[in-house]
Amino acid sequence: MSVLDFDYMVGLVPILLRYLPLTLAMAAAGMALALVLACGLAVIRVLGIPGLNGVTLLFISFFRGTPLLVQLFLFYYGLPQVLAFLTQIDGITATIMGLTLHFAAYMAESIRAAIVGVDRSQTEAALSIGMTNGQLMRRIVLPQATRVAVPTLMNYFIDMIKATSLAFTLGVTELMGATQKEAAGSFLYFEAFITVAVFYWVIVELLAWCQRRLETRLNEAYRR
Amino acid sequence: MIQVANLVKRFGDATVLDGIDLAIDQGEIIVVIGPSGTGKSTLLRCLNFLERPDAGQLTLGDLDVDVTRATRADILAARRRTAFVFQNYALFANKTALQNIVEGLIVVNRWPKAKAHARGREILRRIGLTDKADAYPASLSGGQQQRVGIGRAMAAQAEVILFDEPTSSLDPEWVEEVLALMKQLAAERQTMLVVTHEMGFARDVADRVVFMEGGRIVEQGPPSQLFNAPRDPRTRDFLRKVLAAQPAIQPS
Ligand SMILES: Nc1ncnc2c1ncn2[C@@H]1O[C@H](COP(=O)(O)OP(=O)(O)OP(=O)(O)O)[C@@H](O)[C@H]1O
Ligand SMILES: [Mg+2]
């Protein structure tokens, strides 16, 4: 193997930087939507709402039980064939949809576990002083559940950022798609892919750093 | 004035409270004793609607409800007129000592924050924890946590404070400080209904001791009478056993 072409790699950085916002935007949108959906699913599971509980279980089972890539293809290539009004769905939308549903299924279960994990006696204490169920949730249960759920949710966010790279299979030119094109032009596959690998790596490490800081703050109340 | 009439609670087939009648005067201190599994905790929890009773009439000050017909509003009203001190403290882990005490004032009674905090600090002073205002429960000793638990109940300004074995989870070294705080409240004529195995406390502090067994009140009376001249053989039997285990307070 010849020596790495560093000049090429350095030159690639500003090109790839142009596609970074799209990658981050897809991950941010997917995460925000997935959080909302997952909270809803978790509450349905915690309360055990009769009909909805079954639907939720089926949803979670399907989106955890099938590969994300299959789900993305299903949305992008499959859905327009069965849903007439969706003559065309663009790759970015399909990616965000897939990420949302896929990760919401996982996150719902960790949020549910975090809610259920809050000491039952605190619930009784809150009710005993006359709090309503809503006040109990907002002021006592959810703040504590958040602390428990945040590390896991951050890990899912990190996974999601990496999973955005699958969007290139739907023809979206994000970080991975752009790298693929550059590499195909230069034939310097190793340089191109090691560069994009470092991109993802740096993003993830930055996030992990934020995660540690956030956890320290959230744990303040529990230090002895 | 608190009155319970014919209170019944069943868990499945088991009748845990079998028609309890109890009246508590303003400022009265009542201690409930009895063997394990007799329904003492359940009685307290029913007064606070942490358990839903199956029958009975409940009077708490100006609130008077048939427990089987209690609406959501009745239940909230009953909870605002009673305060609960738990065996395991049950402090809100995400809130400081001061926040634990004022939480109900701010959220339930909708007091302005400044007013609630002023009252909270006053209570912290009375429970001897002025310097722990900003400490979280995890950093407090068991005794300190339970004193905050009592402070939270004091803040509610309820008709009655219900204590369910407030010292049973404590390491022996912390029991005295919690009992001392309860004695202080008793001296201030705070109405209290206390379930405890601390016979010394019952003897020294109670106006009336209630002996329960099998979901019923077997016998009640002033401590001097109940401890020295129990009428029912079941009371005698129970007292013989517990006083043998706590020799410091043998009948005189
Ligand atoms: N949620 C519940 N479901 C079913 N049975 C229960 C429940 N809570 C209490 N019981 C039963 O009701 C009976 C009375 O319980 P309770 O806790 O009131 O007794 P206790 O007098 O407080 O006893 P202890 O001194 O051990 O605290 C027990 O037999 C208990 O097993
Ligand atoms: Mg009990």
Question: Tens digit of pLDDT for each residue in B182-238?
Answer: 999 999 999 999 999 999 999 999 999 999 999 999 999 999 999 999 999 999 999
pLDDT, one tens digit per residue, over A173-206 is 999 999 999 999 999 999 999 999 999 999 999 9
Q: How far apart are the first and last CA of chain B?
A: 33
B43 closest CA partner among B62, B29, B22, B64: B22
Residue B210 three-state SS? strand
What are B19-50's pLDDT values in tens digits? 999 999 999 999 999 999 999 999 999 999 99
pLDDT category at B247 given cuts 50, 70, 90 is low
Query: What is residue B108's DSSP assignment?
Result: T
Pocket of ligand 1 (CB under 6 A): B 11, 16, 34, 36-42
Most distant CA pair in chain A: distance in Å?
A: 74
Specify the pLDDT at position A79.
86
The C-alpha torsion from A165 through A167 and A171 to A176, rounded to 10°, is -10
Q: Is residue A1 part of a domain?
A: no
This complex has an ipTM of: 0.92
Q: Looking at residue B249, what is its pLDDT?
A: 57
Residues of chain A in contact with residue B96, where contact means CB-CB under 8 angstroms, are 221
- Strand-by-strand arrangement of the B160-164 sheet: B82-85, B160-164, B192-195, B29-33, B208-213, B216-221
Query: pLDDT tens, B54-77?
Result: 999 999 999 999 999 999 999 999
Using CB atoms, pick whichever of B93, B104, B107 lies closest to residue A221. Answer: B93
Q: Is residue A125 part of a domain?
A: yes
Q: Name the residue facing B108 among A130, A220, A222 (closest C-beta).
A: A130
Q: Which residues contact A15 (CB under 8 A, 6 or more apart)?
A: A178, A182
Pair of tokens at residue B87: 């065996």
Q: Which atom of ligand 1 is nearest to the CA of B212?
A: 21
Give a yes or no: residue A24 inside a domain.
yes
Gap from A107 CA to chain B (nearest CA, Å): 23
Q: What number of helices (H) and strands (E) belong to chain B?
A: 9, 10
Q: Which domain holds residue A152?
A: 6-222
> Going from the N-terminus, what domains does chain B have, and what CATH number goes with each?
2-244 (3.40.50.300)
Report the distance separating Cα B44 and Cα B34, nearest Å. 14
Q: Are B140 and B152 in contact (CB under 8 A)?
A: no
Distance B164 CA to ligand 2 centre (A): 7
Distance in angstroms (rounded) separating the CA atoms of residues B186 and A102 = 59
Protein residue closest via CA to atom 3 of ligand 1: B11
Please give the number of the atom of ligand 1 that sits closest to the Cα of B12: 4
For residue A164, what is the domain's CATH number? 1.10.3720.10
Inter-chain CB pairs, A–B, below 8 Å: 72
Does residue A198 lie in a domain region?
A: yes
8 Å CB contact of A135 and B83: no
Percent of chain A with pLDDT over 70: 98
CA dihedral A45, A46, A49, A51 (to 10 degrees): 10
Separation of alpha carbons A89 and A55, rounded Å: 26
Select from A125, A135, A222 the Cβ nearest to the Cβ of B86: A125
CB B142 within 8 A of CB B62: no
User: Domain tally for chain A?
Assistant: 1
Q: Quick one: CA torsion of B74, B57, B34, B166, rounded to 10 degrees?
A: 20
Provide, rounded to the nearest whole percent, the portion of chain B with pLDDT above 90: 94
Interchain proximity B76–A222, CB inside 8 Å: no
B94, B102, B162, B165: best to mutate for the A interface, most A CBs within 10 A: B94
Three-state SS across B48-96? CCCCCCCEEEEEECCEEEEHHHCCHHHHHHHHHCEEEECCCCCCCCCCC
B29 DSSP β-pair partners? B192
Inter-chain touch A129–B91, beta carbons under 8 Å: no
